[in-house]
């Protein structure tokens, strides 16, 4: 679980650097956190 969280964090950081933060926030809102 921790490794998954770390991976998601890295992907998020890269994603923020390549697109707008607002788009990422919208994706997080759409994401079903319970499936993680």
- 30, pLDDT greater than 70: yes
What integer pLDDT is reported at residue 6 of this predicted model?
A: 92
In this prediction the pTM is 0.42
- 36, pLDDT greater than 60: no
Nearest CA among 8, 6, 14 for reference residue 28: 8
From residue 35, give the alpha-carbon distance in Å to each of 29, 31, 32: 14, 9, 6
Give CA–CA dist 3/35, Å, rounded: 16
- Residues 1-15 have pLDDT tens digits of 689 889 989 988 887
């Amino acid at each position: 679980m921790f490794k998954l969280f770390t991976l998601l964090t890295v992907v998020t950081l890269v994603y923020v650097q390549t697109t707008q933060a607002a788009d990422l926030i919208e994706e997080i809102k759409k994401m079903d956190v319970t499936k993680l």
